[in-house]
Amino acid sequence: MFVRHDSRAYMAIAEQELPKRQEKSRSSEDGSKGGLADAVRRARRHSVLVRALKFLLPAAAILIALFFFAYSYVFTPAQISVDLFNTGFKDGKLIMADPKLEGFTRNNRPYRVHAAQAIQSMSDPDRIELKKITGRLPISDGNWADVTADEGFYNRDKNTLDIKSKMIVTTTNGMTAKLASAFVEMKNGTMKTPDPVDITMNTTHITAGSMDIEDRGNVLVFNRNVKLVMIPQGKKTAGGGTNENE
């Protein structure tokens, strides 16, 4: 998949962090060799940060967006099963127990999406409520993404998925993404959340007040109070803790 880097994601970080660094540089600059060495080290750290963002942010976009968008262009038609014994009508609603969506990718790797219940109202049959959603999807050779959410609403007519509860995406290669909500438009290949997001990828931690995924995962935009923490592998502070560089 071609991944397009969106500069808005890390420009927001730069706008917040660079003035602080520039002010620190002006206050501490005294013409000494020590001050010059500090400036060089800061410049190197900033250069490393920018280069890392070009790879880390698109990678996070792919992993998160795959759960929502891959079915339309990566996955083959799936088998849908329902526990008929515990399925029935109640208060004008069809309550389907234990619905599962299972199939294989075009590379013949299995995937599974499951809900404890799917509830469909006869007065609004296009809107389906999903309870206790879980999924396991392949993301690369030997690696998987596990997705959990307490509640979501799928609209068959508009082809949208509205996650109203906390959603967690974890991968076997070290990423954890926590979202408080998500609204997905399958047809347009977009996902938006106005709520805070928290993403950890091995030694990298990204937080933001909101997030947009566009162009089927090719563009990931973080907004509001964006913060990136990079933890050098193997480095510890004098007290034995981990050294964090922002």
238 lies in a domain? no
| The pLDDT of residue 178 is above 70 | yes
241 lies in a domain? no
Structural domain boundaries enclosing 20: 8-230
| The pLDDT of residue 235 is above 70 | no
Say how far residue 246 (Cα) sits from the centre of its chain.
21
Predicted confidence (pLDDT) per residue in 115-172, tens digit:
888 888 878 878 888 888 888 877 666 778 788 888 888 887 777 778 888 888 888 8
244 lies in a domain? no
Predicted confidence (pLDDT) per residue in 44-100, tens digit:
554 544 444 444 443 343 344 444 444 443 444 445 455 555 667 777 787 877 777
pLDDT given for residue 45 in this prediction: 53
In the 8-state DSSP scheme, what is residue 172? T
Which residue shows structure tokens 């049959």? Answer: 125
**Whole-model pTM over 0.75:** no
Which has more confidence, 227 or 28? 227
- Cα–Cα dist 224/12, whole Å: 8
Please state, for a pLDDT cut of 70, what percent of the chain lies above it. Answer: 53
**23-31 mean pLDDT:** 50
236 lies in a domain? no
| The pLDDT of residue 19 is above 60 | no
Residues 6+ apart with CB under 8 A from 33: none
pLDDT given for residue 69 in this prediction: 41
| The pLDDT of residue 217 is above 80 | no
Tell me which amino acid residue 207 is. Answer: T
pLDDT given for residue 6 in this prediction: 44
pLDDT given for residue 42 in this prediction: 59
Structure tokens at 146: 């596990």
Q: How many domains does one find in the chain?
A: 1
70 lies in a domain? yes
242 lies in a domain? no
CA-closest candidate to residue 93, choices 123, 138, 137: 123
3 lies in a domain? no
pLDDT band at 228 (very low <50, low <70, confident <90, very high): confident
pLDDT given for residue 60 in this prediction: 41
Which has more confidence, 204 or 156? 204
Which has more confidence, 70 or 206? 206
pLDDT given for residue 51 in this prediction: 46
**11-27 mean pLDDT:** 46
For residue 147, give the CATH number of its domain.
Answer: 2.60.450.10
By the 8 A CB rule, do 165 and 156 touch? no
